[in-house]
Every structure is written in structure tokens, then in C-alpha cells.
Amino acid sequence: MPSNSLASQAKSFRSSLIDWYDANARDLPWRNAPSTYKTVVSEFMLQQTQVKTVLPYFAAWLEKYPDFKTLADASEEEILKSWEGLGYYSRARNLHKLAKEVSAIPAGELPTDAKSWLRFPGVGPYAAAAICSISFSDPSAVVDGNVVRILSRITADESDYKNSTDAAKAYRELVQTLLNPAHPGDHNQAMMELGATVCHKQSPTCLLCPVRVHCQGYTKGIAETLPRLAKTKFEEVTVNRAWIQSPQGILLHKIPANAKRMKGLHELPDLAALSIPVPKTKPHLTRKRGITKYRITERIHTITPQALPSSLPPDHIWAKPSEIPKLPFSGPHRRWITELLST
Ligand code: SF4
């Protein structure tokens, strides 16, 4: 468990942190002329995704969907297309649903506290606290992997945690105690900024740290070993896919609306779904990727159209190469198709 000696130094911790943030905050587009809409979009995009990846998507998104209403009126296919390559597509669908709900709320009645925002699609405790503290100065502290890393180091907490969600629970109370009640949004952003730019997972730049004087992990020389999280156990998975071209186009699978993940996106079809046995020959393309706890080997085989069953299984379609750019795909499938079309 984290020691609570830091709580007694809350005042000086807050003031060192906020002074540093005022002088060092990165110039990010959602911080310029901030609005609730910009904050919501940035918080959705930044989940599981680095700032440098988000920047071009955020700019294009604001250009195409400048407010909740424009986003609410767009089609899901359009939205998935705009999100293409960012991954974790449920974020895009939830953002779309949230825009519809927010647009339907009469002016002046949008809730401003984190608890009320939990009712919106895709908004968990972290996003609710971030959005409401930044947009409405709601005194809700954010706690995520960055915050856990900083505080476990400052408190030299050598406890073993199952994962960062487990650790986040242990830190919730301390994080709330440390929150700057006068500037909760800036305080939360300062914690995130510190985690992203100074208190790195590997090689934290402690000599530049505004809260080093509070950091017991630094003093004891153990900061980089913290937090102590159990290693993720990865599962190896192999997927065999088909690359089938015919005069009608390229065979694709459109992931149905009742699927758990990636609904509405297109992908290269799975051989098993087409009832085609895995060829013994070397695949045309082999690519590896990771999704959450899965380490996936994707093997893409060239198959002749004659091998297909007499009628296609549901949700499989032919798409002409000229139609491919307009359809939504996940980033990897788009890359593989581009590669396959160029060979
Ligand atoms: S002193 Fe180092 S380890 Fe401690 S909070 Fe600052 S950057 Fe992180």
C-alpha cells in the first residue's frame, strides 16, 4: 500500500507541480481555445494512444466534425473511416453515441460533474474525471498508469500489484487528497504531463523533476523499479486469412454489428469462415501484431476463387480495388491490402 506521508505534504506538492506545469506544458491543440468538445475528443483519442499519434487525427477530426452536433449527424461508416488507423474502434462508436446524447441535451443542462458523466457511452472513471475537471473545474482526480507510476515512486511503494487497475484502486484516496482544489483540471493535466515527459517508465529524468524533493523512490535509488506490476501473460494466436481476387473484386469480410470488436470495419476473410482448409504452402504474407494480451501471427494465403463455397457466407462481399479507399478498415488490414495489391 502507498504510504500516506505524501498526503501531509500535499500543499507544497501541488504548488511545485502546478508551477512546473505553467512553465512547461506542451502546446497541444486541445489546450488552445479549449472547449468541452475538444476535451472529450482528445480524451477519447488519447486512451491507449500516444500524443504524437493522436495529433494528425485530432486536427482532421476537428476540421470534419467541429462540434457535437456535426459529429452526431455523421454516419457510423464515415466516423469509422475517420478513425481508421487509431485502433480500439469502440472508442469511435462510443464517441458518436455520446455526441448524439449530448446534442439532445438542452443548452445549459449538460452535467458538469464526473459522477453524472459516467452515464455517457465510453466514459469510465478516468475519462469522467479528466473531462469534468478540465472543462468544468470539477474536483475529481484522475488515476491511471501514469499517475500510479509517479506516486508509487514518490512513496517508494514496493507492494506487488496484479496490474495497473489493481494499483489504481490503491492510489485513489491519495490521488484525491493531493488534488489541487483551486485548479483541478490543470493539476490533473500536470500529473499526466509529468508522467509523459519526465517520470518515464524507463530512465525517468529525475534531475528535471519538479517534485523530486518529495520522491522517496529517487532518494532510495529504486524509482525505476516501481511500480511493481505482475508481468502480463501473452497468448499466442495464429489467424489464417484469404487473399482472393476475381473479376468481381477482392473478397472482404464486413464485421457484423453484433460482433464484440471492430464492428462495421472490413477485413481480409478468415479461411475457417470460408470453409477452406489451410494450404500447406508458404503464405503470401506473414505479419505479427499485438492486441491487448494477444500476440497474433497473421498468415495471408493466396486462394483461387474456385476454392470458394458455391454461396458466400454472410457478411462477405466483393469490393473493386477502386472502392477499397472508401471502405473503413483497421490500420493493419489497410496496410496488408495495399501491400498485396502492389505485389
Ligand atoms: S524524482 Fe524521478 S522517479 Fe520521482 S517522481 Fe520525479 S521523475 Fe519520477
> How far does residue 217's CA lie from ligand 1's centre (Å)?
7
Q: How does pLDDT run across 20-78, given as a tens digit for each residue?
A: 999 999 999 999 999 999 999 999 999 989 999 999 999 999 999 999 999 999 999 99
| Most ligand 1 atoms within 8 A of CB, residue of 6, 21, 153, 213 to mutate | 153
Dihedral, CA atoms, 150, 154, 160, 163, nearest 10 degrees? Answer: -10
Quick check: 255 and 262 in contact, CB under 8 A? yes
Q: Which atom of ligand 1 is nearest to the CA of 223?
A: 3
List, by residue range, all CATH 1.10.340.30 domains of the chain: 4-229
Q: Which atom of ligand 1 is nearest to the CA of 212?
A: 1
Cell numbers given for 135: 472543462
pLDDT value, residue 8: 86
Q: Are strands 294-302 and 235-243 parallel, antiparallel or unpaired?
A: parallel
> How far does residue 289's CA lie from ligand 1's centre (Å)?
32
pLDDT value, residue 261: 85
Spatial separation of the C-alpha atoms in residues 113 and 312, rounded to whole Å: 50
Which amino acids bring their CB within 6 angstroms of ligand 1?
150, 153-154, 198-199, 204, 206, 209, 211-212, 215, 217-218, 223
Could you tell me how far CA 197 lies from the centroid of its own chain? Answer: 18
Report residue 130's pLDDT band, with 50, 70 and 90 as the boundaries.
Answer: very high
pLDDT value, residue 1: 63
pLDDT value, residue 69: 97
> How far does residue 11's CA lie from ligand 1's centre (Å)?
18
Quick check: 125 and 141 in contact, CB under 8 A? no
| Most ligand 1 atoms within 8 A of CB, residue of 198, 203, 219, 220 to mutate | 198
Query: Known catalytic residue: 193?
Result: no
pLDDT value, residue 245: 96
Res. 4: pLDDT tops 80: no
Helices of type H across 9-144: 10-24, 36-46, 51-64, 68-73, 76-83, 90-103, 114-117, 125-136
- Write the DSSP symbol of residue 224: G
List, by residue range, all CATH 3.90.79.10 domains of the chain: 235-341
User: How large is the average pLDDT for residues 112-128?
Assistant: 97
> Which of the four CATH numbers 1.10.1040.50, 1.10.340.30, 1.10.3720.10, 3.20.20.140 does domain 4-229 have?
1.10.340.30
Domain 235-341, CATH? 3.90.79.10
pTM as predicted = 0.86
Q: How does pLDDT run across 228-238, given as a tens digit for each residue?
A: 999 888 999 99
CA-closest residue to ligand 1 atom 8: 199
User: How large is the average pLDDT for residues 184-190?
Assistant: 98
Q: What share of the chain has pLDDT > 90, as a percent?
A: 89
Spatial separation of the C-alpha atoms in residues 154 and 171, rounded to whole Å: 12
Q: What average pLDDT is seen over the chain?
A: 95
Q: How does pLDDT run across 292-331, given as a tens digit for each residue?
A: 889 999 999 999 999 999 999 999 999 999 999 999 999 8
Cell numbers given for 84: 481508421
Report phi then psi at 8, rounded to 5: -75, -15
Beta strand ranges found along 208-284 (DSSP E):
228-229, 235-243, 245-246, 249-254, 266-267
Res. 2: pLDDT tops 80: no
CA-closest residue to ligand 1 atom 3: 223
Q: How does pLDDT run across 66-114, given as a tens digit for each residue?
A: 999 999 999 999 999 999 999 999 999 999 999 999 999 998 999 999 9
CA-closest residue to ligand 1 atom 2: 206
CA-closest residue to ligand 1 atom 4: 215
> How far does residue 153's CA lie from ligand 1's centre (Å)?
6
CB count in 10 Å sphere of residue 192: 18
pLDDT value, residue 150: 97
